[in-house]
């Protein structure tokens, strides 16, 4: 619409030429009023264009970010067994920012094409020889520009990956500056990061100079083309093929369509950066993804399944990348499981099989490196068994579910989500006044302490409050700067507050004071038993005989054969 208003302005210029020669049907004041109206319409149309384009860009940026997060969540865990996965994710994130910052170049290109589409017939009508000459001068320039643009592509993509690697190095340095005291290592790391920053600066400077040189060259060539066009106009006037009025109209039309074309030329480096960002995002989309969810029983028992109204057969079986896993009310069975970390020649599990019973909590024992943490991550769905088709309990969802809630995993390297989420969950339990969930698969009396709460009558909110007092977490929910032991206590409360019937713990007491470990563990087991939660824990801690008797102890060396 703004281009149509520009065409109206061209008509106004022609009317003004007629007004000067006394051949216009309008008076000067009428002409001025019409031109003012056209200018106002053009202003309205330009504002609408800017508003629509910016709205589209920001909404597109939001959708790209949502797509990035969704794709990131679905990436195969194997991608992150070495540093390449993190680098590719950071590069894709840089690409999303670049696409949002430079996406406006596409709108400038569309505007230039629309302007040309409207004014090209006008130019041909005024003077077709001059218009053909103009295109003869412009087309070679456009072809040259395309070649230069193509040459900039690999450099732009390399710069995106260099920025992603630097971001990873900077994050590593930031963590070590706060947690590592060795001056020698910190000094070397600082030097490496500084050198990497210098390399990135040189690459960025070179790319920026090349892009700006290309933009300046395009502007210079456009000026040269304009001079050539004016010289050709002079030749046409000298031969009587064009008069002064035609020259004014042609130049006016040319200037009206030249401005958006010139702005588009200035945005060429942005266009190239956006195109490179799109290429990086396409590569990101092609990264290995998690195996698609398949129909298989969940890790929880029959009571939990019945309470959810699931129609799945609890006695069914699933083939999982060579790992056949079945479970029923008795617990979980894994057979023929194979797992190797990417880049390693030594398998963690080869034809692995194990049966775990829900009658008691499970305690996994074994030397360092035997695979305790890996097994828990496999059960939590954070790793996938080897082979082309894989499934994990966290991917065994009821029809229509988007996320599994049947497993709550507390890893050894603990990262807590924002604690406001835990507060919301605890407050929700309090406000609902809920009792112990009906979906609980209750352990046998032998697996619980004599002092364990009565799960049949004690509300869940009261159970959580009692554990919070025992573990000392009630004063930690709002505290800033938690220690490792305090984070572990918060995580244990979080596991109990969740709706997950199965809790996986990887060295949960390692950061808690020795005098408090067994007391907090027993309180956790009592509360988990009252809530019907099945606990699988890996630990090196030497517990008392009474505490260890609460568990079904599994030695992984023996289980692996």
What are the structural domain ranges in the chain? 2-285, 407-559
What confidence tier does 143 reach under pLDDT thresholds 50, 70, 90? low
Does 96 have pLDDT greater than 60? yes
Residue indicated by tokens 């029923």:
328
Does 402 have pLDDT greater than 50? no
- Written as six digits, the tokens of 93 are 């994130």
Phi-psi group of 398: left, alpha or beta (phi > 0 → left; psi -120 to 50 → alpha; rest → beta): beta
pLDDT above 70 as % of the chain: 66
Q: How many CA atoms lie within 13 A of 259 on its CB side?
A: 8
- The model's pTM: 0.66
What confidence tier does 372 reach under pLDDT thresholds 50, 70, 90? very high
Q: What is the mean pLDDT of residues 193-198?
A: 85
Per the model's pLDDT, the better-predicted residue between 442 and 386 turns out to be 386
What confidence tier does 444 reach under pLDDT thresholds 50, 70, 90? very low
Residue indicated by tokens 């206590």:
489
The pLDDT value recorded for residue 343 is 84
Angle at 299 between CA 552 and CA 294, to 5 degrees: 150
For 209-257, the pLDDT digits (tens) are 877 777 777 677 667 767 777 777 777 777 777 776 666 666 666 665 5
- The kind and range of the H/E element at 192 are helix 183-238
Among 22-36, 248-262, 265-279, the minimum mean pLDDT is found in 248-262
552-555 and 362-365 as β-strands: parallel, antiparallel, unpaired?
Answer: parallel
CA distance linking residue 428 with residue 325, whole number of Å? 35
As a whole number of angstroms, the longest Cα–Cα distance in the chain is 113
The pLDDT value recorded for residue 184 is 76
Are 512 and 505 in contact, with CB atoms under 8 Å apart? no
DSSP string over 433-454: T-BS-TT--PPPGGGS-TT---
Residue indicated by tokens 């709108």:
107
Beginning with the edge strand found earlier in the chain, give each strand of the sheet holding 331-339 in spatial order: 317-320, 323-326, 331-339, 349-357
3-state helix, strand and coil shares in percent for the chain, rounded to the nearest 5: 60, 10, 30
Residue 296 φ then ψ, to 5°: -155, 155
Among 32-46, 118-132, 497-511, the minimum mean pLDDT is found in 118-132
70-79, 369-378, 426-435 — which one is most confidently predicted on average?
Answer: 369-378
Does 312 have pLDDT greater than 50? no
331-339 and 323-326 as β-strands: parallel, antiparallel, unpaired?
Answer: antiparallel
- The kind and range of the H/E element at 276 are helix 268-285
The pLDDT value recorded for residue 169 is 82
Among 45-59, 112-126, 189-203, 437-451, the minimum mean pLDDT is found in 437-451
Does 19 have pLDDT greater than 50? yes
Nearest of 323, 453, 466, 331 to residue 389 by alpha carbon: 323
**Alpha carbon of 194 to those of 197, 201, 297: distances in Å?**
5, 10, 52
For 272-297, the pLDDT digits (tens) are 778 888 888 898 889 888 876 433 33
Q: Kindly report the CATH number that applies to the domain delimited by 2-285.
A: 1.20.1560.10
364-368, 380-384, 435-439 — which one is most confidently predicted on average?
Answer: 364-368
Beta-carbon neighbour count of residue 255 at 10 Å?
A: 13
Among 7-16, 83-92, 340-349, the minimum mean pLDDT is found in 7-16
The pLDDT value recorded for residue 507 is 93
> Would you mind telling me the total number of residues written for the chain in this entry?
561
The pLDDT value recorded for residue 244 is 66
DSSP string over 195-253: HHHHHHHHHHHHHHHHHHHHHHHHHHHHHHHHHHHHHHHHHHHHTTS--HHHHHHHHHH
For 318-364, the pLDDT digits (tens) are 334 445 444 444 578 888 888 999 888 888 988 888 888 888 999 99
The pLDDT value recorded for residue 463 is 93
**Alpha carbon of 164 to those of 67, 93, 169, 277, 505: distances in Å?**
19, 8, 9, 13, 33
Nearest of 243, 238, 251, 239 to residue 21 by alpha carbon: 243
């Amino acid at each position: 619409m703004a281009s149509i208003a520009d065409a109206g302005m061209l008509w106004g210029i022609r009317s003004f030429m007629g007004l000067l020669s006394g051949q216009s049907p309008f008076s000067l004041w009428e002409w001025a009023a019409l031109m003012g109206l056209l200018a106002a319409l053009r202003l309205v149309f330009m504002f609408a264009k800017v508003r629509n384009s910016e709205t589209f860009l920001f909404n597109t940026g939001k959708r790209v970010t949502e797509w990035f997060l969704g794709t990131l969540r679905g990436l195969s865990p194997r991608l992150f067994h070495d540093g390449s996965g993190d680098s590719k994710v950071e590069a894709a994130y840089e690409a999303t920012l670049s696409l949002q910052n430079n996406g406006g170049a596409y709108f400038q290109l569309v505007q230039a094409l629309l302007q040309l589409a409207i004014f090209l017939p006008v130019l041909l009508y005024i003077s077709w020889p001059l218009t053909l000459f103009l295109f003869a001068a412009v087309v070679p320039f456009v072809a040259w520009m395309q070649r230069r643009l193509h040459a900039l592509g690999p450099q732009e993509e390399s710069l995106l990956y260099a920025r992603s690697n630097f971001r990873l190095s900077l994050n590593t340095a930031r963590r070590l500056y706060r947690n590592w005291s060795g001056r020698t290592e910190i000094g070397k790391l600082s030097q490496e990061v500084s050198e990497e920053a210098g390399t990135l600066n040189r690459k960025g400077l070179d790319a920026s100079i090349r892009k700006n040189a290309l933009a300046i060259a395009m502007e210079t060539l456009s000026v040269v083309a304009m001079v050539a066009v004016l010289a050709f106009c002079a030749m046409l006037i000298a031969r009587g093929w064009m008069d002064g009025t035609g020259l004014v109209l042609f130049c006016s039309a040319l200037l009206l369509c030249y401005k958006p074309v010139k702005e588009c030329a200035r945005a060429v480096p942005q266009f190239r950066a956006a195109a490179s960002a799109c290429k990086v995002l396409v590569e990101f989309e092609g990264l290995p993804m998690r195996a698609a969810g398949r129909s298989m029983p969940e890790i929880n028992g029959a009571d939990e399944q019945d309470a959810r109204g699931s129609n799945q057969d609890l006695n069914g079986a699933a083939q999982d990348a060579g790992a056949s896993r079945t479970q029923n009310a008795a617990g979980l069975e894994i057979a023929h499981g194979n797992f190797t970390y990417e880049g390693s020649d030594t398998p963690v599990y080869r034809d692995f099989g194990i049966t775990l019973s829900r009658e008691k909590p499970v305690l996994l024992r074994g030397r360092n490196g035997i695979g305790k943490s890996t097994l828990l991550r496999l059960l939590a769905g954070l790793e996938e068994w080897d082979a082309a088709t894989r499934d994990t309990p966290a991917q065994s969802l009821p029809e229509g579910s988007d996320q599994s809630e049947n497993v709550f995993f507390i890893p050894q390297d603990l990262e807590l989500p924002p604690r406001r989420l835990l507060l919301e969950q605890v407050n929700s339990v309090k406000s609902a006044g809920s009792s112990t969930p009906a979906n609980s698969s209750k352990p046998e009396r032998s697996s619980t302490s004599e002092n364990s709460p009565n799960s049949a009558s004690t509300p869940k909110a009261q159970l959580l409050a009692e554990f919070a007092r025992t573990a000392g977490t009630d004063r930690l929910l709002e505290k800033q700067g938690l220690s490792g032991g305090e984070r572990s206590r918060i995580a244990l409360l979080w596991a109990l507050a969740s709706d997950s019937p199965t809790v996986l713990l990887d060295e949960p007491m390692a950061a808690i004071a020795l005098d408090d470990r067994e007391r907090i563990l027993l309180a956790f087991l009592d509360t988990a038993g009252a809530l019907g939660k099945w606990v699988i824990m890996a630990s090196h801690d030497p517990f008392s005989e009474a505490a260890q008797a609460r568990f079904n102890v599994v030695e992984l060396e023996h289980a692996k054969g």
